[in-house]
Structure 1
Amino acid sequence: MTIKMPVAATAISRRGWMKGALGASALLAPGLVRAQSRGQKVNIACIGIGGRGVAVVKDLYDSGLANVVALCDTEMGASRTAEVLKMFPDVPKFRDFRQLFDKMGNAFDAVSIATPDFSHFPVAMHAMALGKHVYCEKPMGHSFRQIQLMMDAATKYKVMTQMANQGHSGAGYFQFGAWTSAGIIKNVTRITAFMNSPRRWHGKTTNGFLPAEPVPADLDFDVWQATSNPHPYNFGYMVGEWRSWFEYGNGALGDWGAHIFDNAHEFLRLGLPTEVESHWIDRPSRYLFPQGSTLIFRFPRRGALPPLELSWYEGQNNLPPLPADFGDSVVDPNIPPPSAGSIETKRLAPGKVIYGEGLTFKGGSHASELEIIGQAGLDLRSRLPATPAYDTSHAGNFLRSVMGQEQCHSDFRIAGPLCQTMALGVIAQRTNAKISFDPGSRRITNHKVADALLLGDPPRPEWAHYYQL
């Protein structure tokens, strides 16, 4: 079932959007758009080219499978966009993604989205309605409702989609699948996941939103805000600082959960939890994510798979309980550097412990492979199945899928329930409560405020049409 969305989209805004969509390329069936790229390079428009967007553009281009034909960023021309602009000096450039689609909709097959979390949704919905394939940074959307709509749109418009949790095309992904199929990982009842590195909101306090400052000349702040509640511009929201705010970000869980327990979520078929408990919160705030948090997700039995409890530990002083023979952390050497702060790997790197039948596993984040803790791992070493080889990147997997050669490893059908699980965790943090969730009705049944948060904030009227599928 899908969440119903009582939004007041005006007839004018809805008609205007659809008119623009049809005028660009909506008359091309998705299959035909995909066929245009079959066996050739994929023409792609990159939306969000600063910060994390730099690496996304490079990953796509370095695959050798993409032609970058347009660039879009609300800060186009600012220093954060300079590196990508230097790479592609002659392609058309836009600050408003809607103008990009209106003027160049027939010139590309796919888009990359590396904008702030809260603005993934309208860009992806616009693209999919035009039959464009979507490579979207994680998490998919800002609210449970947005994520559900993105999944529904991908199904309706029959487009290729990929959430950019890049480890989902790495060695750890293929190992987890092979070990699950071979019965090495079986009957898992407990997972401990942790991210204890400094976050940009650590040490911050506030009693409200930030005061107004002059909007820089090289920023389209109205488009930057997208569907979110409007607030006066302040630099304290920019350059990744939006991650600190419930209004704009998804905290450490939304930023790192998709890199830490994504494989477990898929291969153990976790789906959606029936309960999420805010077990401990350090300095809860109405506005900012907490300084530390322990959440407990409870997943029901899935066929023959037993119920599972996933505990999430975040915060520099909120280290998780670990097995006595845990040893050193598992570290993926290819973790992208943060735009601010640091990733602590000397004390305890981001990772997880997985408790299965007869074996306990430890792992890191991204593409890192699991290790079996204790003597059991040494005894099994010669009998473990080999990790299947894969010779391309996560971006390459997406592009090959658009070309009809592969299937996306983290398409919205797979990534959506993972992101919705994380969205439920954010709601538990925000309310500091134990919430009961009914996966059938997609409702929180014991907490009215938490249930209302599933829908997210009402969109600004001129953006409401994106919520109409």
Structure 2
Amino acid sequence: MSNTHLSRRKFLHTTGLGAGAVLGFPAIVSGQNLNDRIRVAAIGVGGKGESDINNVAKCGCDIVGLCDVDAKTLGRMSKKYPKAKTFSDFREMLPKMDAEIDAVIVSAPDHIHGVAAIPAMQAGKHVYVQKPLAQTVWECRVMGDLAREKKLATQMGNQGSAAEGLRRSVEVIQTGVLGKPLELHVWTNRPIWPQGFERPSGSDPVPEHLDWDLWLGPAAERPYKNGIYHPFKWRGWTDFGTGALGDMACHTVNMPFRALKLGYPEKIECEMASKLFSETYPMTSRVRFDFPAREDLPPLKFWWYDGNPGDPFKPIMPYPELLKDIIALRGKTPKSGALIVFENGMLYSEDDYGRAFWVKTNDDKEFVSGTDHPLTRDAPQVIPRSPGHEQEWIDMMRDGTPAYSNFEIAAYLTEVILLGSIAQRVGEGLPIAWDGPNMKAKGNDAASALVKRPYRDGWAPQV
């Protein structure tokens, strides 16, 4: 599958990035009978999965299926939703419950997102998938195409999309009051999980409550080790996670990706890394994305910085000169955030979700709240406000109102972010020239090979 037919102009229009666009792609989803209760099955029911299920249930959905490879987690949620059928393998649940399911939530580890969501979408199920949308660029592309072709209601779980501050930031930036955007700097305090080491030797007995083979899913077989992979310690492994970029950039890059109409980069490079490992992401890194001119906007460079301040490898951060006014504003260096440098000033979007923002023009001495600055107060509101992140997905199923993080934009955003993860794996100081529509690195076989993962027998999506 390919979206080479999706031109940049059409992309900007259909995803709410272009001038005058409001929310998302047109209401192409067939609305469900408003008198019916939506029947939802969930894949991955612990951690974030638990809150996703609870939130959807609060929106009035019936939870009819629960699937998890950890029997303890599954048992706990089964007690809360006793009418739901339980499974350990979604490949069994989806066909068996086909006639009983309207929609599916996927909140398992990253390497399961695509392999679970794709067959659900092929079966015509509406889907809500936690961020990152998928583990690979190829899976994202397939999911975006399926959402469009099947006319499905979709939403990626980057909850900041529903925040007033994020939507207001997009509106303010697209008025052009700060001039042309020139640079983007985004940083995070992740990883907060183990990464930056080689695979430990040996093996440990698999806990009785865990189906290790199903947990591995599409990944190659490897021995189980206590405290190394499950639960939650999988994010730093290239076989299972997407590192700090995959974990947080779907949040922190969400607003600037929309507001700056970024689309595909033409080059990506891991400029610096603490140390590279064969199976895990580095403890800290700086990755640069070069975006070409688009519409009336000039070329732009985006730098991503990650690393946990509590680790021996201190994080690589933006230059102190860039952060000095933010430090003056907050009294310290924030753990995460996004800073956009414009011709006429800067905009700082706070925390992981962009719930608040500040503006400083070239004539200002300090940052001023984006809701109070004289330049921003009169920016028109053109983006509808959210009834709630999960409720947007429900509304899209009901009447076709597009969810703000539907796959038409979420797949595109995640594709771009995962290119940074590819750059980290290719190596420090090795730029990748990127052909976005065709998902290929120009003259770089190592990078092109990471666009799609190798699948273990029985796990490859049938596309």
- Do they superpose with TM above 0.5? yes
Match of 1:234 in 2: 225
Shift of 1:156: 2.3
In 2: Cα distance, 1:91 partner to 1:420 partner: 34
- What is the SS of the residue equivalent to 1:289? coil
Pick from 51, 62, 66 the counterpart of residue 67 of structure 1.
62
Please say if residues 3 and 141 of structure 2, whose CA atoms lie closer than 8 Å, have aligned partners that are also in contact: yes
Shift of 1:440: 3.8
In 2: Cα distance, 1:443 partner to 1:383 partner: 43
Match of 2:342 in 1: 356
Does the alignment pair 1:150 with 2:143?
yes
Please say if residues 327 and 334 of structure 2, whose CA atoms lie closer than 8 Å, have aligned partners that are also in contact: no
Residue pairs, 1:194-343, within 5 angstroms:
194-201=187-194, 205-206=197-198, 208=199, 210-235=201-226, 236-315=228-307, 316=309, 317=314, 318-321=316-319, 322-327=322-327
Indicate how the Cα distance of structure 1 residues 89 and 440 shifts in structure 2: closer, same or farther if over 3 A, else same.
closer
Does the alignment pair 1:380 with 2:392?
no
TM-score norm. by structure 2 comes to 0.84
Pick from 405, 419, 423 the counterpart of residue 424 of structure 1.
419
Between 1:220-229 and 1:32-41, the stretch displaced more is 32-41
- What is the SS of the residue equivalent to 1:461? coil
Indicate how the Cα distance of structure 1 residues 32 and 223 shifts in structure 2: closer, same or farther if over 3 A, else same.
farther
Shift of 1:359: 2.2
Does the alignment pair 1:51 with 2:47?
yes
Between 1:179-188 and 1:283-292, the stretch displaced more is 179-188
Please say if residues 43 and 104 of structure 2, whose CA atoms lie closer than 8 Å, have aligned partners that are also in contact: yes
Shift of 1:304: 1.2
Match of 2:393 in 1: 398
Indicate how the Cα distance of structure 1 residues 225 and 346 shifts in structure 2: closer, same or farther if over 3 A, else same.
farther
Indicate how the Cα distance of structure 1 residues 309 and 382 shifts in structure 2: closer, same or farther if over 3 A, else same.
closer
Matched-pair identity in %: 28
Please say if residues 279 and 295 of structure 1, whose CA atoms lie closer than 8 Å, have aligned partners that are also in contact: yes
Shift of 1:442: 2.2
- What is the SS of the residue equivalent to 1:301? coil
Indicate how the Cα distance of structure 1 residues 169 and 246 shifts in structure 2: closer, same or farther if over 3 A, else same.
same
Does the alignment pair 1:109 with 2:107?
no
Pick from 134, 142, 150 the counterpart of residue 141 of structure 1.
134
Indicate how the Cα distance of structure 1 residues 424 and 210 shifts in structure 2: closer, same or farther if over 3 A, else same.
farther
Question: Which structure's residues are more often helix, by fraction?
Answer: 1
In the TM superposition, what whole-angstrom CA distance separates every residue of 1:254-287 from its partner, at most 9, and x where no partner exists? 1000110111112322111111111101011111
In the TM superposition, what whole-angstrom CA distance separates every residue of 1:136-161 from its partner, at most 9, and x where no partner exists? 00111111111111112222222111
In 2: Cα distance, 1:312 partner to 1:32 partner: 35
Indicate how the Cα distance of structure 1 residues 379 and 408 shifts in structure 2: closer, same or farther if over 3 A, else same.
closer
- What is the SS of the residue equivalent to 2:245? helix
Aligned CA-pair RMSD: 2.6
Does the alignment pair 1:93 with 2:86?
yes
Please say if residues 46 and 113 of structure 1, whose CA atoms lie closer than 8 Å, have aligned partners that are also in contact: yes
Please say if residues 269 and 302 of structure 1, whose CA atoms lie closer than 8 Å, have aligned partners that are also in contact: yes
- What is the SS of the residue equivalent to 2:140? helix
- What is the SS of the residue equivalent to 1:237? coil
Residue pairs, 1:165-204, within 5 angstroms:
165-184=158-177, 186-201=179-194
Question: Counterpart amino acid of 1:434?
Answer: P
TM-score norm. by structure 1 comes to 0.83
In 2: Cα distance, 1:185 partner to 1:401 partner: 34
In 2: Cα distance, 1:283 partner to 1:312 partner: 17
Shift of 1:36: 4.0
- What is the SS of the residue equivalent to 2:305? strand
In the TM superposition, what whole-angstrom CA distance separates every residue of 1:105-135 from its partner, at most 9, and x where no partner exists? 1112101100000011111111111100000
- What is the SS of the residue equivalent to 2:160? helix
- What is the SS of the residue equivalent to 1:152? helix
In 2: Cα distance, 1:242 partner to 1:359 partner: 40
Does the alignment pair 1:371 with 2:371?
no
Shift of 1:392: 2.0
Unaligned runs of 5+ residues in structure 2 are: 5-26
- What is the SS of the residue equivalent to 2:248? helix
In 1: Cα distance, 2:400 partner to 2:445 partner: 46
In 2: Cα distance, 1:145 partner to 1:289 partner: 20
Unaligned runs of 5+ residues in structure 1 are: 5-30, 331-344
In 2: Cα distance, 1:195 partner to 1:53 partner: 23
In 2: Cα distance, 1:101 partner to 1:405 partner: 24
Indicate how the Cα distance of structure 1 residues 329 and 146 shifts in structure 2: closer, same or farther if over 3 A, else same.
farther
In 1: Cα distance, 2:237 partner to 2:222 partner: 12
Match of 1:455 in 2: 452
